[in-house]
């Protein structure tokens, strides 16, 4: 069996991290078998190296090795890409086509980003894993294939299963052996080694001296979290190699190439709200609604008292208490009174104005608002319903004469006309 160190040299894998060495060791051990392997790890950690190791050290090494990025193929064509299709199976299918599973017969197929597969395709893939059978799109003929499947993903498979985005039975068939590659931030000693390797490669590629980091820059390099992992480190090394005139790089220069260098402190993020949080929010909402209902009931009672008794001191006192209860300060009280006047325009009693000029008093019987007693004081009756009822009864009392009805209600004839049109009376 090939050693871990020899395998790393053969496939250009840099680093001595224990987690990395364990992943390479597991790949070497499973290579001679035909069991399915699932490679897990964050994006950019180099997951594509594992299936190459497995294929090269297996008895299938002389067969085809096909790598498929499942996330890059449109959902409507992925079945055709993987399993092939018959001529005329869909619009544009002008000829029969072989899929990747047919082409890779006797070899290895690497399904990268397998977590992005549609559920319908997952069912087809499960059948291939169970008995090696598949059916082309638009065909009824069952075909056999003998392929070794190695899959990779950077998503949390248990979360995907919980959200019903990935089949649980397919996960367990794919992950007969699971190989995890650690993120770069957990491989402190390997970061500088990788940077030096990339710097040397780019110096050779662009025919220039290799860049070097001083001690402070090395510390900055190792403390950075590298959310993009090896891919991000390689990108930074290439940028500095091309753009910097000075070949010796200090910490300040390196920091200028690291995005969000100040935002890399660890933090605990609550991904979802607990059920108790939603329960508390509902309780608060219910309380607010009940308080609003109580205030509205008080307002309806006060309005009815105002219509019955006029502008008495007791009614005025109750009015001020209610407004203070709802708003709590003079400024909001004034705003509330203004809004109340607009909403209850038909219920307003003519205000008393201090003026030396004589104000004519309408000749209306003392019990002109007595018909308000006929309105039921139900809790669910809205102010609008009361307003409509008052207008109807006033019009009936005056045989449809709007001027007299408006005078009785204490509003202008124009306002009454607008109300009649608004409520389609």
Which among 182, 215, 234 is the end of a domain? 182
Q: Same structural domain for residues 240 and 284?
A: no
Q: Same structural domain for residues 377 and 406?
A: yes
Q: Same structural domain for residues 221 and 321?
A: no
The pLDDT score that the predictor gives to residue 418 is 79
The pLDDT score that the predictor gives to residue 346 is 45
Q: Indicate which CATH number applies to the domain containing 124.
A: 3.40.50.300
pLDDT digits (tens, 9 = 90+) for 342-388: 555 544 444 444 444 444 544 444 444 444 444 444 444 567 777 78
Q: Same structural domain for residues 311 and 326?
A: yes
Q: Indicate which CATH number applies to the domain containing 198.
A: 1.10.8.60
Q: Same structural domain for residues 23 and 59?
A: yes
> Is the pLDDT assigned to residue 245 strictly greater than 80?
yes
What is the radius of gyration, based on Cα positions, of the chain? 40
Rounded to the nearest integer, the mean pLDDT of the chain is: 82
Q: Same structural domain for residues 254 and 294?
A: no
Average pLDDT over residues 314-318: 63
Residue 43 φ/ψ, nearest 5 degrees? -65, 130
Of 178, 112, 186, the C-alpha closest to 151 is: 112
Q: Same structural domain for residues 192 and 173?
A: no
Distance CA 253, CA 248 (A): 10
pLDDT digits (tens, 9 = 90+) for 90-109: 888 889 999 999 999 999 99
Q: Same structural domain for residues 167 and 36?
A: yes
Q: Same structural domain for residues 223 and 322?
A: no
In a domain, 269, yes or no: no
CB atoms within 10 A of CB 195: 25
The pLDDT score that the predictor gives to residue 422 is 80
In a domain, 272, yes or no: no
> Is the pLDDT assigned to residue 70 strictly greater than 90?
yes
Q: Same structural domain for residues 300 and 328?
A: yes
In a domain, 40, yes or no: yes
CB atoms within 10 A of CB 45: 26
User: 84 exposed, middle or buried (CB, 10 Å; 0-12, 13-18, 19+)?
Assistant: buried
Helix (H) or strand (E) holding 69: strand 65-69
Q: What are the E-state strand segments in 154-218?
A: 177-180, 212-213
Residues 112 and 48 sit within 8 Å (Cβ to Cβ): yes
Q: Same structural domain for residues 160 and 201?
A: no
Expressed as residue numbers, the domain containing 384 is 345-352+362-425
Q: Which two tokens mark 5?
A: 């160190």
In a domain, 210, yes or no: yes
The count of structural domains within the chain is 4
The pLDDT score that the predictor gives to residue 390 is 82
Which among 263, 288, 311 is the end of a domain? 263
Torsion of CA 182, 186, 187, 189, to 10 degrees: -170
pLDDT digits (tens, 9 = 90+) for 291-304: 777 777 777 776 76
In a domain, 401, yes or no: yes
């Amino acid at each position: 069996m090939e050693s871990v160190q020899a395998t790393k040299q053969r496939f250009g894998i840099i680093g001595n991290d224990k987690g990395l060495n364990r992943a390479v060791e597991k790949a070497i051990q499973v290579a001679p078998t035909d069991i399915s392997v699932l490679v897990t790890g964050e994006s950019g950690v180099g997951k594509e190296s594992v299936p190459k190791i497995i294929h090269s050290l297996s008895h299938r090494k002389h067969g085809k090795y096909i790598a498929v990025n499942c996330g890059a193929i449109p959902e409507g064509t992925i079945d055709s890409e993987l399993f092939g299709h018959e001529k005329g199976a869909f619009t544009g299918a002008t000829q029969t086509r072989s899929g990747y599973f047919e082409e890779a017969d006797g070899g290895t197929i690497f399904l990268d980003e397998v977590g992005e597969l549609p559920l319908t395709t997952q069912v087809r893939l499960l059948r291939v894993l169970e008995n090696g059978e598949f059916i082309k799109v638009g065909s009824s003929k069952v075909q056999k294939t003998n392929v070794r499947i190695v899959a990779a993903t950077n998503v949390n498979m248990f979360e995907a299963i919980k959200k019903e985005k990935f089949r649980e039975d397919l996960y367990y068939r794919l992950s007969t052996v699971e190989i995890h590659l650690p993120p770069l931030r957990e491989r402190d000693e390997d970061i500088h080694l990788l940077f030096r390797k990339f710097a040397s490669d780019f110096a050779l590629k662009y025919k220039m001296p290799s860049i070097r980091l001083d001690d402070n820059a090395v510390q900055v390099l190792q403390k950075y979290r590298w959310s993009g992992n090896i891919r991000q480190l390689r990108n930074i090394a290439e940028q500095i190699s091309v753009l910097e005139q000075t070949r010796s790089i200090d910490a300040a220069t390196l920091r200028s190439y690291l995005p969000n260098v100040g935002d890399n402190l660890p933090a605990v993020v609550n991904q979802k709200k607990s059920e108790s949080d939603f329960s508390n929010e509902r309780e608060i909402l219910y309380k607010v609604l009940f308080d609003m209902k109580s205030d509205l009931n008080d307002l309806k009672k006060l309005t009815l008292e105002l219509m019955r008794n006029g502008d008495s001191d007791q009614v005025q006192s109750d009015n001020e208490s209610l407004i203070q209860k709802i708003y709590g300060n003079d400024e909001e009280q004034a705003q509330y009174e203004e809004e109340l006047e607009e909403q209850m325009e038909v219920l307003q009693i003519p205000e008393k104005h201090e003026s030396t000029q004589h104000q004519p008093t309408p000749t209306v019987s003392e019990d002109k608002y007595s018909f308000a007693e006929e309105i039921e004081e139900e809790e669910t009756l809205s102010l609008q319903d009361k307003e409509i009822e008052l207008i109807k009864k006033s019009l009936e009392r005056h045989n449809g004469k709007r001027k007299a009805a408006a005078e009785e209600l204490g509003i202008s004839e124009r306002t009454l006309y607008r109300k009649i049109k608004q409520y389609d009376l």
